[in-house]
A and B are shown apart, each in its own frame.
Chain A
Amino acid sequence: MSGVFTGRLRTRATGLHPPADASAYRSTALRSPRHAPIQLPSTASEETGPVFGHDLIGPTDADLTRNFGPGGAIGEQIIVTGHLRDEGGRPVPQALIEIWQANAGGRYRHRNDGYTAPLDPGFGGCGRCLTDAQGAYAFRTIRPGAYPWPNGGNDWRPAHIHFSVFGAAFGQRLVTQMYFEGDPHIALCPIVQSVPDARAIDRLTARLDMDATIPFDARAWRFDITLRGLDATPFEGRP
């Protein structure tokens, strides 16, 4: 091998992700490192991907309306679908996507969530799937409710679904949130607005997809996800 640094993973874009210290999102105050992260080209540790047990992912894990309690979930049934690609536009197949969300009333099935909306006995709030050979994924779930959170006194999260995504390489690991087109809380939310690039926020906003909508059953929302790509040019500081 010619060197430890191969520079295969493309450097993360500056000004795309939220800064560590985003003052309007108060939880960042004590959890934001004061030093910038040390930027280095990738090594084998970042360019290889985890083995989490693909055979453990069951076909019904992606249906949040049925994967928890008996009877099914309460709320507006929706399909959330899209493609996982890298920055070069290549599909990322066999990648693990995990999601979690509040129920239709805006309440999480989590011991620390004390919001007054009731729990739904038919809804756990998490699901997972693998992307197919074309990088496509799909979940069936219910549209989550908006909920208030302790931050500025009267802050409400827009309706959202949390996404955790693996790529082919551990250095592509991404956690994000999906929002719904047309939600007025997107513009008001300190967490969303911590993303400095308006176009990047737009890409976190799922669009109504009538082609994927199942007639007389469930409307579909399209959410495509992009992971770090491979760099065509070698890293300059390479030894």
Chain B
Amino acid sequence: MTRESASQTAGPYLHIGLAPNAAGLPMFGGDLGARMVGDGAEGTRMVLTGEIRDGSGAAVTDALVEMWQADAAGHCPARDPAFTGWGRTTCDTAGRFRFETLRPGALDGQAPHVTLWIAARGIGLALQTRVYFPDAPENATDPVLSRVPESRRDTLIAAATPEGYNIKITLQGADETVFFDI
């Protein structure tokens, strides 16, 4: 059996490859993953924002963030034809990112959540984490959340904002985000 190919960092210039238009290159008529929600999508619209900081507290401005989630009815992949369930965006000069999406429904046996995937210079194997919602009763019985040490669970719970939710991601240090190998 051939094992998986080894990962390598995406390096400092990944935006030209994966979000060229955001990086100032007019290519392909637009960036993949830029629009998740189409007209007529069912469910509650929400904006998921976040910010990424390194071990010194500095903003990670060069990261690429992808997200993957269920549709409003809890189907993954989404069955709603007006919703892709997959988004891709870049961090800005303050290390912030933003997805305009739908609030996901609870998947079979799991609390509503969003999977985040983070690639950047200095990250040899892209980091995978999850975002849960502070007001979801299913969190209490979620099988993934329940396997995270209680003292670190808060790093996976977004904070409510006027337009949706915000998640703080810390790559290293005291409030280090929980990352998964799932």
Residues of chain A whose beta carbon lies under 8 Å from any beta carbon of chain B: 1, 3-5, 9, 11-13, 16-20, 22, 25, 27-35, 37-46, 48-53, 56, 58, 61, 67-68, 85, 87-89, 96, 98-100, 108-113, 124-126, 128, 162, 164, 170-171, 173-177, 191-192, 194-195, 197, 200-201, 203-204, 225-229, 239
Chain B interface residue count, CB cutoff 8 Å, equals: 77
Q: A5-B143, A29-B55, A31-B171 are in contact. Are A195 and B122 (CB under 8 A)?
A: no
Nearest CB in chain A: distance from B19 CB, A: 10
Contact B6 A201 (CB under 8 A): yes
The segment from B8-16, B39-47, B159-167 found at the interface with A is B8-16
Residues of B close to A164: CB separation below 8 A: 10, 14, 17-18, 119
Give the docked Cα–Cα distance between A224 and B62 (Å): 28
Contact B124 A46 (CB under 8 A): no
Could you say which of A33, A96, A170, A194 contacts B177, with CB atoms under 8 Å apart?
Answer: A33
Contact A43 B144 (CB under 8 A): yes
Contact B76 A48 (CB under 8 A): yes
Interface of B is mostly: loop
Contact A68 B27 (CB under 8 A): yes
B35 — nearest CB in chain A belongs to which residue? A53
Give the docked Cα–Cα distance between A162 and B152 (Å): 34
Contact B24 A111 (CB under 8 A): yes
Could you say which of B5, B14, B33 contacts A176, with CB atoms under 8 Å apart?
Answer: B5
Contact A174 B4 (CB under 8 A): yes
Contact A112 B12 (CB under 8 A): yes
Counting chain A CB atoms within 10 Å of each CB, the highest count among B18, B30, B117, B147 belongs to: B18
Residues of B close to A175: CB separation below 8 A: 7-10, 14, 119, 126
A110 — nearest CB in chain B belongs to which residue? B13
Could you say which of B13, B148, B182 contacts A108, with CB atoms under 8 Å apart?
Answer: B13
Contact A108 B6 (CB under 8 A): no
Enumerate 30 A-B pairs (CB-CB under 8 Å) in ascending A order: A4-B107, A29-B122, A30-B54, A30-B56, A31-B123, A32-B171, A34-B173, A37-B128, A37-B181, A40-B147, A43-B107, A44-B110, A45-B115, A48-B76, A48-B77, A51-B78, A51-B84, A52-B84, A67-B27, A68-B25, A87-B2, A89-B2, A125-B17, A164-B17, A170-B68, A170-B117, A177-B8, A195-B6, A204-B5, A227-B5
Nearest CB in chain B: distance from A12 CB, A: 6
Contact B126 A27 (CB under 8 A): no
Q: A51-B85, A68-B27 are in contact. Are A4 and B125 (CB under 8 A)?
A: no
Q: Beyond A16-B6, A40-B182, A89-B1: 20 further Cβ-contacts under 8 Å?
A: A18-B7, A18-B9, A20-B123, A30-B58, A31-B172, A32-B122, A35-B178, A37-B128, A40-B181, A45-B107, A46-B115, A68-B25, A100-B14, A109-B25, A110-B13, A162-B10, A162-B11, A173-B117, A197-B6, A200-B5
